[in-house]
A and B are shown apart, each in its own frame.
Chain A
Amino acid sequence: MNVINEGIGASMRRKEDLRFISGRGHYTDDMNRPGQSHCVLKRSDRPHAIIRSIDLTAARAAPGVVAIFTHADLDADGVGGVPCGWQIHSKDGSPMVEPGHPVLATGRVRHVGDPVVAVIAETKAQAKNAAELVVIDYEDLPAVAHLNDAVKPGAAQVHEGAAGNICFDWHIGDKALVDAAFARAAKVVKLDLTNNRLVPNAMEPRAAIGDFDAMSGDFTLITTSQNPHVIRLLMGAFVLHIPEHRLRVIAPHVGGGFGSKIYHYAEEAIVTWAAGKIKRPVKWTADRSEAFMSDAHGRDHVSTAEMALDEHGNFLALRTSTLANMGAYLSTFAPAVPTYLSGTLLAGVYKTPAIYGEVKAVFTNTVPVDAYRGAGRPETTFLLERLMDVIAHDTGHDRVALRRQNFIPSDAFPYQTPVALQYDSGDYTATLNAALKASDWDGFPARRAEAAKRGKLRGIGMSTYVEACGIAPSKLVGALGARAALYEVAQIRVHPTGSVTVFTGTHSHGQGHETVFAQLVAEQLGIPFANVDVVHGDTAKIPFGMGTYGSRSLAVGGTAMVKAMDKIIAKGKKIAAHLLEASVEDIEFAGGNFTVAGTDRAKSFGEIALTAYVPHNYPIEEIEPGLEETAFYDPANFTYPGGCHICEVEIDADTGVTSVINFTAVDDVGRVINPMIVEGQIQGGVAQGIGQALLENAVYDEAGQLVSGSFMDYTMPRADDLPNISVGTETTLCTHNALGVKGCGEVGAIGSPPAVINAVVDALKDYGVRHLDMPATPQKIWAIINAAGVKLAAD
């Protein structure tokens, strides 16, 4: 009976938490290998410069120095550049411009933080001392950091091969159809908007340890990664040319990723290669300042969106044009973010019949930009959901009615959008209604009036969104430019006494997989939760896998587990049939028992496991001993979580400070395995979304220096910046995976930013505000209020 309490739908406490919150985790930096040396990177302090010469004389003579390497050493060994995992083709069919991304800067530095020299010493302090003695003679070049500047004629050129700093000029949708719809539209509403640049700031900074066994020729890389197999593939095949069986990648406990730890980074290649060179382990750990200038940043889009409407407020066509900042080099998935993770969602939750989107990806002298919690979907959601409120503002439609009227109806699924995706299921009216009720939307005017009495400007805003996650069908993404597959792998090892170890190719770095996957397996196999252990993060233990991102771990990785368990059960039935002297067709499996249908003759899961390993009485001619199965699962489609977020704010007109008073999220994440974890994931995502909307901003000055390069200037959300976040779910099941699950890892960060800004704009409606870019800082809001005051005084 405890199976039911511990399985699908139970809010089991997270197994991993005791370890993590009591300081017993083993993160990369906690590990030390015998004979270990320490690597410090001398990074560029210039946004853009030619490296005229590098003088290592003094550094080499410094105490404790073991070795110092530059690009010349890597070149001499034939080390390749950091590869990009996705190739986009431009409108004209030409492939994107793919300038090299050297592991150590070669000839030029292109952003502050670009690594130039690797200094390895006995201690980290000695490596730092020696790095200070490295003399690099730079010749500064003009630099460009901001999107709009980078595409201006005469802008500084980041890469010689990328004219006008354009990496690619991509589009999606039917331009002619859209143009025709605009020509006959009763009304066109246009909006320019910016999606602000963010620094991911996982709690654990990146770290890597390279090791080399001279006897076997085996390399080991311990790294802060969300996907160790992907790193092994990219680094082994493209950078260091080490075959898989000679390269083990371990991603141990990892303290948060949010996307920033998906990518293959230069430091991983440096420590692994250097370990082979000096025949000693080499460790590198980023400090926080280094993280700010070397972890891939997120977002940074500038867009124009236009909606064509008929006289009744029905959407006729959507046209968008976006500049997406790639930074100085192409990070692993960077080209996919503004295109196939973003442009393909332009329909949103609306039945807009014609859509056309253009995206220019642009190089700048900034840290590379890549996927960050939500990856492309927050950008599109912000664009669409701000546009909704602006349409309502410009046309006088009620913002709820406008959305409702244009929703894809709940009976229209599967729904083929005009921009490639086919949504399998959803019910946007249901999530909207539930959120309106939970937030007491209708009672808002009274709350506004009450706030006004206290001198506060109160506003309410919503967003209704859908996203595509559970990535992804390999064939589809391959056709769209992915250079890898996106299936997932699970191995289920049943031990002789019936306990189970699950090996998954996904990786948990805060999500709670050890708990959720154990619940899933316990439920399916009818065994106690405590009898299931989950192993991840080691290429030597796990057959293969693509890792964790894009809310894929349960939808794709969990489904792979189900497939593997199906094989276990099928084999178990054969063993049971033999023991019970029945035919296989008559064996049923439920609640942990193999039963002859219609009888009480049964064998427990444990008995079957024992028989498989002690096959004294066993159909040995027919099946092998042992009980262990592996499954590769390639999904048929993305999954499509969606929902409605409602935010209520109060603004202090004297100071411009916004307080988030209430936040209500009602999401459809498909079947829920652990409601507590879903709630936590959504709350965490919303915290990040509120951070983006009100607080966080990665600011470069014109010259390419990162002004917000530390927590003194980069505003991370703190607990007291956040309201209680009320989370509800309304479920429609995913129709194409065995569990009906969709994914909950990113919805919070996707749905929330426009809800917050819509609430802020609503609060400021008496000041004539139509749009406000993120983050809505006190200074920005005060400037609006002040300008309105000045205008009032002048009138």
Chain B
Amino acid sequence: MYDFAYEKPTALAAAVSALTTDDEAKALAGGQTFIPVLKQRLNKPTKVVDLSSLGLSGITVTPSTVTIGAMTTHGDVANSVDVQKAIPALANLASMIGDWQVRHRGTIGGSLANNDPSACYPSALLALGGTVTTDRRTIAADDYFQGMFTTALEPGEIITSVTFPVPERAAYQKFRNPASRYAMVGVFVAKFASGVRVAITGAAQGGVFRHAAFEAALSANFLVDAIAGITTPADDLNSDIHASAAYRAHLIGVMTKRAIAAA
């Protein structure tokens, strides 16, 4: 780790100002991504702005929405009886992230700000058509993700909470990378009265994406068989030592079918 200054503001405005007045300042949430990056000296911030005293954690459930504060940990989402009732798929997704230690530190805001192409939460946000609320605005999921590790967030913009509409049915199915146990292919399927949304994480070079062909078929008929003949082109999918693009394309079909069955 290189030396850096450390700040722990107690007001959102102070945190935003600390981050915007200094281009090299970085926000710290659960540190589950950021601290390993610092330890490997892959990042050299001038200042680390700790978001843990801004009062950004907590879960609010209404009949039609689940709103989760940015600093809420994966463990708290997984264990929340309210989330388990409203959107069980979301609680289930959180329970599958990393291990106990990671879940008790890592946060939903950190995960979505980071937008790792293998992360789990991006698929939930995109499939549920949720919104990201920041210190200055609200961003729709479809506008938020802009390629791997890239989001619509402006420099210094802080996520304060994330809101998910409650679907009729939903499920998350994760095929873990055997080594890292991040998603090698993660599929979130959500059925609303207005139609079905399917988001795939882990598989594509550009990060999380919606599967238009599956969505069309499932909106017409929400059954496993509805997507039986549909293959996913491997062209834009990742290839690495664990999975070729063709294998990932295949797994997208398998995991989607499992998600439909589980929803």
Which A residues are CB-close (under 8 A) to B1? 125
Which A residues are CB-close (under 8 A) to B251? 655
Name 23 A/B residue pairs within 8 A (Cβ), A-sorted.
Answer: A125-B1, A128-B41, A655-B175, A655-B251, A655-B254, A695-B178, A707-B241, A711-B179, A711-B180, A712-B180, A713-B179, A713-B180, A713-B241, A713-B242, A714-B179, A777-B178, A777-B242, A778-B178, A778-B243, A779-B247, A782-B247, A783-B244, A786-B250
The answer to whether A708 touches B254, judged by C-beta atoms less than 8 angstroms apart, is no
State which residues 195-213 of B face A: CB under 8 Å.
Answer: none
- Residues 223-251 of B, flagged 1 when their CB comes within 8 A of A and 0 if not, give 00000000000000000111110110011
The answer to whether A654 touches B179, judged by C-beta atoms less than 8 angstroms apart, is no
- Residues 71-93 of B, flagged 1 when their CB comes within 8 A of A and 0 if not, give 00000000000000000000000
Q: How far is the CA of A56 from the CA of B90 in the complex (A)?
A: 54
Q: How far is the CA of A608 from the CA of B178 in the complex (A)?
A: 61
Q: How far is the CA of A125 from the CA of B41 in the complex (A)?
A: 11
Which A residues are CB-close (under 8 A) to B180? 711-713
- Residues 663-707 of A, flagged 1 when their CB comes within 8 A of B and 0 if not, give 000000000000000000000000000000001010100000001
Which B residues are CB-close (under 8 A) to A783? 244, 247
User: What residue of chain B has the Cβ atom nearest to residue A775's Cβ?
Assistant: B178
User: What residue of chain A has the Cβ atom nearest to residue B185's Cβ?
Assistant: A655
Q: How far is the CA of A276 from the CA of B242 in the complex (A)?
A: 47
The contact size tier of chain A is 20 to 34
The answer to whether B179 touches A715, judged by C-beta atoms less than 8 angstroms apart, is yes
List 4 A-B pairs, minimum CB-CB distance, nearest first.
A715-B179, A712-B180, A715-B178, A654-B254
- Residues 759-795 of A, flagged 1 when their CB comes within 8 A of B and 0 if not, give 0000000000000000001110011001000000000
Q: How far is the CA of A712 from the CA of B41 in the complex (A)?
A: 17
- Residues 38-49 of B, flagged 1 when their CB comes within 8 A of A and 0 if not, give 001100000000
Which A residues are CB-close (under 8 A) to B243? 778-779
- Residues 113-136 of A, flagged 1 when their CB comes within 8 A of B and 0 if not, give 000000000000100110010000
- Nearest CB of A to B252, in Å: 11
- Nearest CB of A to B230, in Å: 16
The contact size tier of chain B is 10 to 19
User: What residue of chain B has the Cβ atom nearest to residue A654's Cβ?
Assistant: B254
Which A residues are CB-close (under 8 A) to B179? 708, 711-716
Which A residues are CB-close (under 8 A) to B246? 786
Interface residues of A (CB under 8 A from B): 125, 128-129, 132, 289, 654-656, 695, 697, 699, 707-708, 711-716, 777-779, 782-783, 786
- Nearest CB of B to A473, in Å: 42
State which residues 3-26 of B face A: CB under 8 Å.
Answer: none
Known: A711-B179, A783-B244. 12 other contacts (CB 8 A): A132-B41, A655-B251, A655-B254, A656-B247, A695-B178, A708-B179, A712-B180, A713-B179, A714-B179, A778-B247, A779-B247, A786-B246
Which B residues are CB-close (under 8 A) to A714? 179
- Nearest CB of A to B15, in Å: 27
User: What residue of chain B has the Cβ atom nearest to residue A713's Cβ?
Assistant: B179
Q: How far is the CA of A713 from the CA of B1 in the complex (A)?
A: 23
The answer to whether B250 touches A782, judged by C-beta atoms less than 8 angstroms apart, is yes
- Nearest CB of B to A327, in Å: 20
Q: How far is the CA of A20 from the CA of B243 in the complex (A)?
A: 38
Which B residues are CB-close (under 8 A) to A289? 40
Q: How far is the CA of A697 from the CA of B179 in the complex (A)?
A: 10
Q: How far is the CA of A11 from the CA of B254 in the complex (A)?
A: 48
Q: How far is the CA of A128 from the CA of B247 in the complex (A)?
A: 41
- Nearest CB of B to A252, in Å: 26
Which A residues are CB-close (under 8 A) to B178? 695, 715, 777-778
- Nearest CB of A to B203, in Å: 13
Q: How far is the CA of A777 from the CA of B178 in the complex (A)?
A: 9
- Nearest CB of B to A649, in Å: 15
Which B residues are CB-close (under 8 A) to A128? 41
Which A residues are CB-close (under 8 A) to B250? 782, 786
Which B residues are CB-close (under 8 A) to A699? 241
Which B residues are CB-close (under 8 A) to A778? 178, 243, 247
- Nearest CB of B to A64, in Å: 12
- Nearest CB of A to B44, in Å: 11
- Nearest CB of B to A199, in Å: 12
Which B residues are CB-close (under 8 A) to A712? 179-180
- The contact of B242 among A132, A654, A716, A779, by CB within 8 Å, is A779
Q: How far is the CA of A715 from the CA of B240 in the complex (A)?
A: 14
Which A residues are CB-close (under 8 A) to B244? 779, 783
